[in-house]
Amino acid sequence: MAGKIGESEQSAKYVGKAVNRVDGHSKVTGAATYAAEHKIDDLVYAALIQSTIAKGTITKMDTSEAERLPGVKVIITPFNAPRLSSKSTPSGRSLLLLQDKQVQHDRQNIGLVIADTWESASHAASLVKVSYKQTEPQVEIEKHATYEKLKSTTSEIGKQISAAGHKRGDFSQAFASGAHKVDQIYSTPMESHNPMEPFAVIASWEGEHLTLYDTTQAVFATRKTVAEHFDIPESHVRIISPFVGGGFGSKLSTWSHVILAAMAARKVNLPVKLVLSRAQMYGPVGFRPKTIQRILLAADKNGKLTAIRHDNINETSHFEDYVEASTHTTSRMYACPNLITSQNQVALDIGTPTWMRAPGEAPGSFALESAMDELAYELGLDPIELRVRNYPEKDPESGLPWSSNSLRECYKVGAEKFGWHKRNPEPKSMRAGKDLLGWGMAAATYPTYRMAANAQVTILPSGEALVQAGSQDIGTGTYTIMSQVAADTLGLPIEKIKFELGDSTLPRTPLSGGSMTAASVGSAVQLACQTALNSLIKTAIADQVSPLYQAKAESIVARDEGLYLSSDSKKGERLTDIIKRNKLKQVVGKAESKPGNEDEKYSMHSYGAIFAEVKIDSDLVRPKLTRMVGAYGAGKILNLKTARNQMFGGMTFGIGMALMEHTLIDPKLGRIMNADLAEYHLPVNLDVPNLDVIFIDEHDPHINPLGAKGIGEISITGVAAAIANAVYHATGKRIRDLPITIDKIM
Amino acid sequence: MHPFKYGKTVDLKEAINQLGSQPKANLIAGGTTLVDLLRLNVVTANHLIDINQLPIANIEIFEAKSSPEIGARIGALARNTDVAMHKQIIKNYPLISQAILSGASPQLRNMATVGGNVMQRTRCAYFRDTAVPCNKREPGSGCPAIGGLNRSHAILGTSESCIAVHASDMCVALVALDAQVLLSGPQGERKVALVDFYLLPGNHPEKENLLKPGEIIVQVELPHSPFAKHSHYLKVRDRESFSFALVSAACALEIKNGKIVDARIALGGVATKPWRALDAEKLLLGQSPSEGLFAKAGEVSILGAKPQKSNAFKVELTKRTVKRALLAAVGE
Ligand SMILES: Cc1cc2nc3c(=O)[nH]c(=O)nc-3n(C[C@H](O)[C@H](O)[C@H](O)COP(=O)(O)OP(=O)(O)OC[C@H]3O[C@@H](n4cnc5c(N)ncnc54)[C@H](O)[C@@H]3O)c2cc1C
Ligand code: SF4
């Protein structure tokens, strides 16, 4: 039987190693084609017209001056836009597609200009004069969900999504009789994804067939959405997306501009390219919503949690319900018999929020892990000790055993690496020179997801293999990891693997979200490779000339570009010899790999512990992060290099979340006022200290054939709380409202 | 972006002529402010006059013996990086070097010129967005920053019509050191103290400086400085690098026999123009440096501040920044 990764470490030449990115060269040389870079004949350019108000009705769009510009082909507005089939989309989005004249949020797409050049299109777009009947927008969640209201009750605020809440035991009674308590409100701001590559699409029709070169985290969902809006079969739509310059969740959905580009291409009967500017991405392509969270904790005198309550309110748009599931992990993070959580929403005149790296977990862990720190001080207990005392031996919500859980190991290893034992817990007690020094920590968790995925492997007479899966590589290293899995399974050097993805005509795979691509697609690639090998093995053992003639299939392994007896490494032959002798054109293996009922038997999650050090000047009070250590139990780490890369990215994301990220909306105008990277602050190099990432050696036989848990999202989870806890330790100031800026500490 | 005509000139007179004779002509130097604003349609030009080849990029340093009045002349086209890295500037005017290096990014500083830096526009988000009102951009349309998002706005030199900050770091150091700008225009040359070159917004925030139609900044002149030993530029901002100042202070002291005989305190990030805190300077004269004294200077430097809802923290932060910059200037 062909090698199974994880079972035979010997066969794993690539998996688990720090393998260079197979697409690295093409990326640094510019050979990698991102959506907007595909060379298409007869291309014309579209530029979006976006609303400059947040609420109202468009009464007129004067396009006369714009139309007179040379090169302008057509201007599509709500007054002349083709009618579309208005079906709900698979991603649950309800898109605003020029089908009416309502303006529901700032920077809503309200038209587009198509012209010979991008310059003419964008100039013309700026000349279109839009008249509105304006209404005062409501953009402040605080007006509808005040802290006072939240303190008295949560059920009256906004719309409660009860299905998204958890309840066990009797919270009220347990809280009332708790010996030590915390009752606080935490909030996190609106944040924007800001992937390096902007949203971009090229739409090209041939009759009733549409090809879209799109930057997306979900080629198959995009295909479905587009097909439904144009009332054509999915088979008539092809999505091509070989490279994606980051998405962080924003590119999981098919947003309105994709449909509008296709609409425009159909109208002018030419391929149309549409690229959003940085500013145009603040509104119509999602963001992380502001959350207001109340947490109540009670513990007995030994620090055992007796009651947990976590209520979350998030902002959403008027045309879609988006739930930022901040309370989700709270129900199973700590052993506690009495718990209640709720998810609530307030609809505002803003675009629809969407998933952003660890949606729910990132803001939720800020609140919960800050509250745990507060409880540790309340109890006079070390925050790690408090967490260890409340470690759940099994999933407290479902009662299922963990498939694996290295959380305590993470605390231990992380604390050792950080030097936690040298911490004096007293706030303001530690110094680095004249600066205040603060050490804080937090726990993190993220579920292990997996979905059905397909892959196809073609072993060629040359001895090379073409491996294909629809999928996406959003910068995480999918090309590389899949090539590693294929190379190890087939026993080929990685140079002989060609991996193709990012195309809806390739085998169906899930979206790249929820940190599940490695596990889902990787399992399918492995199975497809095994299927192809099995067919070659069959050929070999039936072939009288083969040294493997009449050998048992189970006794044959793939290695060194051939098939050999596991008991006798000399007995066997090269794949190319089998193929040549049997005059095979190629050997194909197709497979679907899907989860079984393991989630009925096990509770499956990654865990981590994050340690942060800040230095704070006592006058100027800006926290400077000087060190961070993260220890993670995330199953089998398929590629140490890309994995560390992911962790660095996520931790850096967390630094931004903790200290600077904040999308600012003018309260009266309802307009986002920091829609560029000079004013929307992300960490720069100097803000990111040495980051230390430790992966616990974790073997989980239950989760999936590769034993891999996701890492993309746990990497941001808990970071903001660790930093906030460090700031408290340094200054004695508990900042419960992100980001932690000078004005809040002063 | 609206289309425009683009031309280079190697002759100052020609540049002045072209600039003075067309209402929508604009000079372009490094382009780091201008191109941004053109793309945002905040500035619309029909003619860009590229002045990068004018022979006004020199940095000259003079000895006190041969040139008692002028210590340095910095051409308007000298790149920010070249000024900041100039050995004699670092030696004689370290404050300027520090201020420049605290701003923007290396790439921007490599392009940015001294003239362009003096002329950079405010970072007020409303000013930079044509979708919203702004008195500075569209006189009379209103000031949404007042009562809106104003965390980064000014607390000094403001008016009912505008509270926008002048965002330059370099110019804060320049006004501290009594820099003058040499202007050349259709009516000839004139010299103005940089601190007077800028106008307070008053009822006309659209009028930002004394530049007359057709006038070009040719160079910046600095007197000899007795402050090289005791000066410090301290910038406080929301991240470690590459962001504008929430508060900055350019502080310089001349100390003789343990007493402060001359003092300069200029503020950035808090005022509608590079700001001299003259009363705070006076308070230091004749005194011995001490933390208590410097704290008092910090208090006085911000007298008369008019904070808004979200920028009130700047009052306290400015006091502390001034104190710390003064302490740093005396090596603490
Ligand atoms: C992202 C970003 C961050 C920045 N951060 C900082 C910061 O932290 N601190 C800081 O101080 N600055 C910062 N800046 C601003 C930067 O310093 C200025 O953009 C730069 O100094 C402008 O110089 P320039 O030569 O590029 O000007 P240009 O863009 O060429 O010109 C700016 C204006 O000056 C006029 N002009 C140019 N030369 C002359 C002249 N000789 N006479 C008369 N008028 C002239 C032009 O017509 C134009 O109106 C930042 C800029 C950006 C884009
Ligand atoms: S502060 Fe000045 S620049 Fe800003 S909006 Fe008001 S008037 Fe315009």
Q: Which residue of A has its CA nearest to B149?
A: A666
Residue A414: both structure tokens together = 């992380």
Half-sphere exposure of A98 (CA within 13 A, CB side): 26
Q: Is residue A149 part of a domain?
A: no
3-state secondary structure A444-495: EEEECCCCCEEEEEEECCCCCEEEECCCCCCCCCHHHHHHHHHHHHHCCCHH
Residues A463, A443 share a domain: no
pLDDT at A150: 58
Other CB atoms within 10 A of residue A247 CB: 28
| Active-site choice (A228, A315, A361, A713) | A713
Residues A418, A459 share a domain: no
Question: How many domains does chain B contain in total?
Answer: 2
CB A452 within 8 A of CB A594: yes
Tell me the β-bridge partners of A180. Answer: A299
- Ligand 2: which of B42, B121, B127 to mutate, judged by most atoms within 8 Å of the beta carbon? B127
CA A331 – CA A309 distance, rounded (Å): 9
Q: Is residue A665 part of a domain?
A: yes
Could you tell me the distance, in angstroms and rounded to a whole number, from the CA of residue B147 to the centre of ligand 2?
Answer: 11
CATH number of the domain residue A16 falls in: 3.30.365.10
The structure's pTM equals 0.97
Could you tell me the distance, in angstroms and rounded to a whole number, from the CA of residue A206 to the centre of ligand 1?
Answer: 48
CA A537 – CA A73 distance, rounded (Å): 60
Among the listed residues B113, B121, B116, B108, the one whose alpha carbon sits nearest the alpha carbon of residue B242: B108
Tell me the CA distances in angstroms from B133 to A110, A670, B47, one per residue in order.
Answer: 21, 13, 26
Residues A746, A604 share a domain: yes
Three-class secondary structure of residue A262 per DSSP = helix
Tell me the CA distances in angstroms from A118 to A112, A123, B257, one per residue in order.
Answer: 12, 8, 67
Tell me the CA distances in angstroms from A229 to A83, A245, A281, B172, one per residue in order.
Answer: 10, 26, 22, 57
- Ligand 2: which of B40, B123, B126, B272 to mutate, judged by most atoms within 8 Å of the beta carbon? B126
Give the structural domain span for A670. 362-450+600-746
Contact A671 B132 (CB under 8 A): yes
Q: What is the pLDDT of residues B161-174, one digit of tens each?
A: 999 999 999 999 99
Residues A460, A443 share a domain: no
- Which helix (H) or strand (E) segment holds residue A59: the answer is strand A56-62
End-to-end CA distance of chain B: 50
Amino acid, res. A382: D
Q: Is residue B128 part of a domain?
A: no
Q: Quick check: A555 contacting B, CB < 8 Å?
A: no
Residues A743, A622 share a domain: yes
Q: Indicate which residue's Cα is closest to atom 8 of ligand 2.
A: B134
Q: Is residue A326 part of a domain?
A: no
Q: Is residue B302 part of a domain?
A: yes
Q: Distance (Å) from the C-alpha of residue B3 to the closest C-alpha of chain A?
A: 8
Q: Which residues of A touch B239 (CB under 8 A)?
A: 659-660, 681, 683-684, 686-687
Among the listed residues A386, A428, A26, A99, the one whose alpha carbon sits nearest the alpha carbon of residue A263: A99
Ligand index nearest the alpha carbon of residue B57: 1
Q: Which residues of chain B are at the A interface, by a Cβ-Cβ cutoff of 8 Å? A: 1-3, 41, 123, 125-126, 129, 131-132, 144, 147-149, 151, 236-243, 246, 310, 313, 316-317, 320-321, 323-324
CB A614 within 8 A of CB A722: no
Among the listed residues A446, A509, A527, the one whose alpha carbon sits nearest the alpha carbon of residue A714: A446
- Ligand 1 atom nearest the C-alpha of B117 is 21
- Ligand 2 atom nearest the C-alpha of B142 is 7
- Picking from A620, A621, A682 by the largest number of B CB atoms within 10 A of its own CB, the best residue to mutate is A620
- Across the interface, which of A674, A685, A742 has its CB nearest the CB of B236? A742
Domain boundary among A594, A624, A641: A594
- Across the interface, which of B144, B242, B310 has its CB nearest the CB of A684? B242
Residues A466, A548 share a domain: yes
- Ligand 2: which of B40, B136, B200 to mutate, judged by most atoms within 8 Å of the beta carbon? B136
Domain boundary among A544, A561, A594: A594
- Give yes or no for residue B93 CB within 6 A of ligand 2: no
* Residue appearing with tokens 């202070």: B249
Among the listed residues B10, B4, B24, B96, the one whose alpha carbon sits nearest the alpha carbon of residue B52: B10
Among the listed residues A595, A597, A604, the one whose alpha carbon sits nearest the alpha carbon of residue A401: A604
The chain-wide mean pLDDT, for chain B, equals 97
CB A150 within 8 A of CB A158: no
Q: Is residue A111 part of a domain?
A: no
Could you tell me the distance, in angstroms and rounded to a whole number, from the CA of residue B148 to the centre of ligand 2?
Answer: 10
Domain boundary among A536, A563, A594: A594
CATH number of the domain residue B244 falls in: 3.30.390.50
* Residue appearing with tokens 């307009």: A671
CB A342 within 8 A of CB A165: yes
pLDDT-above-90 percentage for chain B = 98
Q: A467: burial class by Cβ within 10 Å (0-12, 13-18, 19+)?
A: buried
Q: Is residue A223 part of a domain?
A: no
- Across the interface, which of A617, A671, A686 has its CB nearest the CB of B241? A686
Among the listed residues A564, A560, A561, the one whose alpha carbon sits nearest the alpha carbon of residue A547: A564
The arithmetic mean of pLDDT across residues B93-101, rounded, is 98
Other CB atoms within 10 A of residue A220 CB: 20
pLDDT at A3: 45
3-state secondary structure chain B: CCCCEEEECCCHHHHHHHHHHCCCEEEECCCCCHHHHHHCCCCCCCEEEECCCCCCCCEEECCCCCCCCCCEEEECCCEHHHHHHCHHHHHHCHHHHHHHHCCCCHHHHHHCEHHHHHCCCCCCCCCCCCCCCCCCCCCCCCCCCCCCCCCCCCCECCCCCCCCCCCCCHHHHHHHCCCEEEEEECCEEEEEEHHHHECCCCCCCCCCECCCCCCEEEEEEECCCCCCCCEEEEEECCCCCCCCCCEEEEEEEEEECCEEEEEEEEEECCECCCEECHHHHHHHCCCCCCHHHHHHHHHHHCCCCCCCCCCCHHHHHHHHHHHHHHHHHCCC
Give, as one character, the DSSP assignment of residue A352.
P
CA A128 – CA B100 distance, rounded (Å): 40
- Give yes or no for residue B135 CB within 6 A of ligand 2: yes
Among this protein's residues, is A67 annotated catalytic?
A: no
Q: Is residue B307 part of a domain?
A: yes
Q: Distance (Å) from the C-alpha of residue B220 to the closest C-alpha of chain A?
A: 28
Q: Which residues of A touch B148 (CB under 8 A)?
A: 666-669, 673
Low-confidence ranges of chain A (pLDDT < 50): 1-9, 154-156
N residues, chain B: 332
CATH number of the domain residue B26 falls in: 3.30.43
Residue A63: both structure tokens together = 């396009």
- Give yes or no for residue B36 CB within 6 A of ligand 1: yes
CB A202 within 8 A of CB A213: yes
> Strands A209-214 and A237-240: what pairing?
parallel
Q: Is residue A335 part of a domain?
A: no
Q: Distance (Å) from the C-alpha of residue B71 to the closest C-alpha of chain A?
A: 34
Contact B129 A671 (CB under 8 A): yes
- Ligand 1 atom nearest the C-alpha of B77 is 41
Residues A459, A427 share a domain: no
> Strands A200-206 and A209-214: what pairing?
antiparallel
CB A575 within 8 A of CB A459: yes
Three-class secondary structure of residue A499 per DSSP = strand
CB B89 within 8 A of CB B96: yes
Q: Quick check: A123 contacting B, CB < 8 Å?
A: yes
Tell me the β-bridge partners of B267. Answer: B249, B275
Contact B246 A742 (CB under 8 A): yes
CA A260 – CA A96 distance, rounded (Å): 10
Could you tell me the distance, in angstroms and rounded to a whole number, from the CA of residue B124 to the centre of ligand 2?
Answer: 6
Q: Is residue B264 part of a domain?
A: yes
Residues with Cβ within 8 Å of residue B66, at least 6 apart in sequence? none
Q: What is the pLDDT of residues B138-148, one digit of tens each?
A: 999 999 999 99
Residues A544, A472 share a domain: yes
- Give yes or no for residue B49 CB within 6 A of ligand 1: no
CA A383 – CA A372 distance, rounded (Å): 7
- Ligand 2 atom nearest the C-alpha of B125 is 4
Residues A709, A622 share a domain: yes
Q: Is residue B220 part of a domain?
A: no
pLDDT at A393: 97
Contact A666 B131 (CB under 8 A): no
- Which helix (H) or strand (E) segment holds residue A292: the answer is strand A291-299
> Maximum Cα–Cα distance for chain B, whole Å?
62
Q: Is residue B131 part of a domain?
A: no
User: In A590-698, which ranges are continuous DSSP H helix?
Assistant: 598-601, 640-659
Q: What is the pLDDT of residues B288-331, one digit of tens each?
A: 999 999 999 999 999 999 999 999 999 999 999 999 999 999 99
- Which helix (H) or strand (E) segment holds residue A273: the answer is strand A272-275
Cα dihedral A374/A378/A382/A384 (nearest 10): -40
Contact A685 B241 (CB under 8 A): yes
CA A405 – CA B317 distance, rounded (Å): 46
Ligand index nearest the alpha carbon of residue B163: 2
Residues A645, A555 share a domain: no
- Picking from A120, A278, A622 by the largest number of B CB atoms within 10 A of its own CB, the best residue to mutate is A622
CA A447 – CA A514 distance, rounded (Å): 8
Whether ipTM exceeds 0.90: yes
Could you tell me the distance, in angstroms and rounded to a whole number, from the CA of residue A678 to the centre of ligand 1?
Answer: 14
Q: Is residue B219 part of a domain?
A: no
Q: Distance (Å) from the C-alpha of residue A125 to the closest C-alpha of chain B?
A: 10
> Maximum Cα–Cα distance for chain A, whole Å?
85
CA B154 – CA B157 distance, rounded (Å): 7
Question: How many domains does chain A contain in total?
Answer: 2
CB A133 within 8 A of CB A55: no
What sign for the dihedral angle of Cα A281, A285, A290, A291?
Answer: negative
- Across the interface, which of A123, A673, A742 has its CB nearest the CB of B129? A673
Q: Is residue B281 part of a domain?
A: yes
Give the structural domain span for B244. 231-329
Q: Is residue A183 part of a domain?
A: no
Q: Which residues of B touch A684 (CB under 8 A)?
A: 239-242
Residues A567, A652 share a domain: no
- Give yes or no for residue B167 CB within 6 A of ligand 2: no
Task: Give phi and psi for A188, each to the nearest 5.
Answer: -130, 145
Residues A736, A620 share a domain: yes
Q: Which residues of A touch B242 (CB under 8 A)?
A: 684
CB B192 within 8 A of CB B180: yes
pLDDT at B170: 98
Q: What is the pLDDT of residues A141-197, one digit of tens each?
A: 988 776 566 555 544 455 555 556 789 999 999 999 999 999 999 999 999 999 999
Could you tell me the distance, in angstroms and rounded to a whole number, from the CA of residue B305 to the centre of ligand 1?
Answer: 27
Q: Indicate which residue's Cα is closest to atom 2 of ligand 2.
A: B162
- Ligand 1 atom nearest the C-alpha of B80 is 21
CA A712 – CA A642 distance, rounded (Å): 10
Amino acid, res. A452: A
Tell me the CA distances in angstroms from A137 to A165, A188, B56, B129, one per residue in order.
Answer: 30, 21, 51, 18
Residues of A numbered 596-655 whose beta carbons fall under 8 angstroms of chain B's beta carbons: which are they? 617, 619-620, 622, 624
- Give yes or no for residue B163 CB within 6 A of ligand 2: yes
